[in-house]
Chains A and B, each alone.
Chain A
Amino acid sequence: MDKNIKYRNFKNLFFKGIVIVFTSVCTLPLLLVLYRIFKEGISAINWSFLVNLPKPVGETGGGIANALVGSAIIVLVASIIAIPFGVCIGVYLSEYRKSKFAYWVLLSVDVLQGIPSIVIGIIIYLWVVKTMGGFSAFSGSLALTLLMLPSIIKSTEETLKLIPDSLKEASLSLGVPYYRTILKVILPSGITGILSGTILSVSRVAGETAPLLFTAFGNPFMNTNLMKPISSMPAVIFNYAISPYEDWHKLAWGAAFILISVILILNIITKIAQRRWRVQF
């Protein structure tokens, strides 16, 4: 009897040990990556790095101001398009779960999610860049929009699916019209889930490089015109990193550090918002 319990305790401990070891093995590389970026990046960062434009080869110094502004513009415009569409489609999918159309929409969303981002870039190149006659910030935003949509749609749909029907019925039974019920009861009840899906998708596309190669292209100068080529953080990281110059590598680390920091901050905001606005049914 006693022995049996000891054996069980041992099994418990053993299992716990395995879980901890596996977790550590997987987390370690992640931490190392962060450590390296932090170590190399922090020394590259100073005021002039943030507010200056890149310098030509041979000159020292130079910054990423154009890339910061470019990424902000591209991602902002992509969000402005993707969020309303994504949330609407998510609402549709959760409200009309049983319809044939919803089935096909969901299937295409799943497929869209699996399309490599470079392919999305090429498609936008063919459809938009060629049609409009040149690279542009706007076409870059469209590429990112397509990348953001699936996760916004899925997180909206999955969040709303968990909201009990009884809430909708409570609202309808008060005589509240259907559209108001969706806007004022269902969406607010799912706001945390929708928000975290959205922020996650923003932080994912903020680091996308491939789809911007054929769309936003890049620009060594400051640009705020949506119809002109524009620089972006991932693009400057790429350009600096593949260059043969030691100092440019430094700049690449600095840019990577800033990109990671922004993503980290977005994720922390999400966590805080989730705690603050937690909805309990």
Chain B
Amino acid sequence: MASTILKAENFNAFFGKNQVLKNINMEIQNNNVVAVMGPSGCGKTTFVRCVNRMHELTPDATASGKIYFDGDDVYKMNLIVLRRKIGMVFQRPNPFPTMSIYQNVVAGYSLNGIKLDKIKRDEIVESALTKVSLWDEVKDSLHKKGTFLSGGQQQRLCIARAISMNPEILLLDEPTSALDPISTAKVEELIYELKKNYTILIVTHNMQQAARISDKTAFFYLGELLEYNDTKEIFTNPKHEKTQNYITGRFG
């Protein structure tokens, strides 16, 4: 049942000469929620962006070592296939401004030139929006622009857009940091729900959030993976002094 879906092996990432990830070794099991934590600038965003190879979009950004997805080396996989199987949600909600709510949900198909008949499309839209519990709120305004929604709704729309492609992994980079507490609670609830079907990697600064929703926690510090363990273990019995300091709020 619990098989490894993602594995980093001696992985390093650089911006120019600046090494921001140092020899990361990490295995992530199927259907786990992994919280990625650590002080600002320690490489959390860089790490998740390496998983779906968004890192290499930055000029001068390079990487070495291996990341395996389902046993395949991501650097040898077809980029398009890889990114369809690994969905990503960003820190700030970024629905496509020219598209309606409906079009945003199926954007992964339409932008990729995948033709769907209307029935199938309607089905995908309804099921994705239902999964992110946005359906009831927007079912009467599906053809309004996605950017008219509130921040929290926009972020859930972006999650719907990501899961409509049926990815196996979802990468969430501080998905709630730009949201108010009520929207945050909704998104958290949603992540908890999504865990049944997806493996989730979520970057967060919020201890409670990590404790509530994750199975495992990875603690990064200055580009190194200091500690990676069951969330309970990390929060009750951290092995590393730095981890302890961080979770007790002594630096952040």
Q: Which of A20-28, A169-177, A257-265 contacts B (4 or more CB under 8 A)?
A: A169-177
Task: Report if A11 contacts B (CB, 8 A).
Answer: no
Is A175's CB under 8 angstroms from B84's CB? yes
CB contacts (< 8 Å) of B57 on chain A: these are 169, 172
In-complex Cβ contact of B90 among A169, A180, A185, A188 (8 A): A169
Interface size on A, residues (CB 8 A): 23
> Given the complex, which residues of A lie within 8 Å of B158, measured CB to CB?
170
Q: Given A174, A175, A279, A280, which contacts B81 in the complex, CB threshold below 8 Å? A: A175
- Please, which residues of chain A bring their CB within 8 A of the CB of B242? none
- What residues of chain A lie closer than 8 Å to B252, measured between beta carbons? none
Closest CB of chain A to B168's CB: distance in Å?
13
Write the chain B residue with the least CB distance to A185.
B96
Closest to B104 in A: A170
The reply on B203 being an interface residue by CB < 8 A is no
Q: Are the CB atoms of A188 and B94 closer together than 8 Å?
A: no
Interface pick from B12-20, B65-73, B106-114, B207-215: B106-114
Q: B-facing mask of A176-191, CB < 8 A → 1, else 0?
A: 1100110011001101
Question: Cβ of A166: which chain B residues have Cβ within 8 Å of it?
Answer: 90, 92, 94
Q: In angstroms, how far is the closest chain A Cβ from the Cβ of B51? A: 11
- Whole-angstrom CA separation of A188 from B145 in the bound complex: 14
Give per-residue flags for B141-179: 1 if the beta carbon is below 8 A from chain A beta carbons, else 0.
000010100000000001001100100000000000000
Bound Cα distance from A176 to B84, whole angstroms: 9
Question: In the complex, are the beta carbons of B98 and A188 less than 8 A apart?
Answer: yes
Can you name the residue of chain A whose Cβ is closest to the Cβ of B91? A166
**Docked-complex contact B112 and A174, CB < 8 angstroms:** yes
Contact status A167-B111, CB under 8 Å: no
Q: Are A176 and B111 in contact (CB under 8 A)?
A: yes
List the B side residues contacting A6 at CB < 8 Å.
none
Chain A stretch 144-198: residues in CB contact (< 8 A) with chain B: 164, 166-167, 169-177, 180-181, 184-185, 188-189, 191
Given A170-B94, A188-B98, residue A280 in contact with residue B112 (CB < 8 A): no
Q: Quote the shortest CB–CB distance from B25 to chain A (angstroms).
A: 25
Smallest CB separation, A11 vs chain B (Å): 40
Tell me the bound Cα distance from A164 to B147 in angstroms.
14
Q: How far is the CB of B59 from chain A (nearest CB, A)?
A: 6
A174/B94 in contact, CB under 8 A: no
Task: Flag if B98 contacts A175 (CB, 8 Å).
Answer: no
* Least CB distance, B31 to chain A, in whole angstroms: 21
Which B residues are in CB contact (< 8 Å) with A184? 110-111
A174-B108 CB under 8 A given contacts A279-B97, A280-B147? yes
Query: Residue of B at shortest CB range from A97?
Result: B59
CB atoms of A173 and B97 under 8 A apart: no
Q: With both chains docked as a complex, state the minimum distance between the C-beta of A95 and any C-beta of chain B, in angstroms.
A: 11
Given that A167-B96, A170-B90 are contacting pairs, would A98 and B112 also be in contact in the complex, using a CB cutoff of 8 Å?
no
List, in ascending order, chain B residues with CB within 8 A of A173's CB.
Answer: 52, 54, 83, 87-88, 90, 162
Verify if B80 is at the interface (C-beta below 8 Å from A).
yes
In the complex, B185 has a CB within 8 A of chain A: no
Q: Tell me which residues across on chain B come within 8 A of A177, comparing CB atoms.
A: 80, 112
Decide yes or no whether A281 CB sits under 8 A from chain B: yes
Q: Which chain B residue shows the least CB distance to A191? A: B98
Asked if A174 contacts B90 (CB within 8 A), the reply is no
Question: Which residue from A98, A170, A171, A174 sits with its C-beta under 8 Å from B165?
Answer: A174
Known: A167-B96, A176-B111. 16 other contacts (CB 8 A): A166-B90, A167-B97, A169-B54, A170-B90, A171-B96, A174-B87, A174-B111, A174-B161, A176-B80, A176-B108, A176-B112, A181-B111, A184-B111, A185-B96, A189-B96, A191-B98
Q: List 10 A-B contacts (CB under 8 A).
A: A166-B90, A166-B94, A170-B94, A170-B95, A172-B57, A173-B52, A174-B83, A184-B110, A279-B97, A279-B98
Interface residues of A (CB under 8 A from B): 98, 164, 166-167, 169-177, 180-181, 184-185, 188-189, 191, 279-281
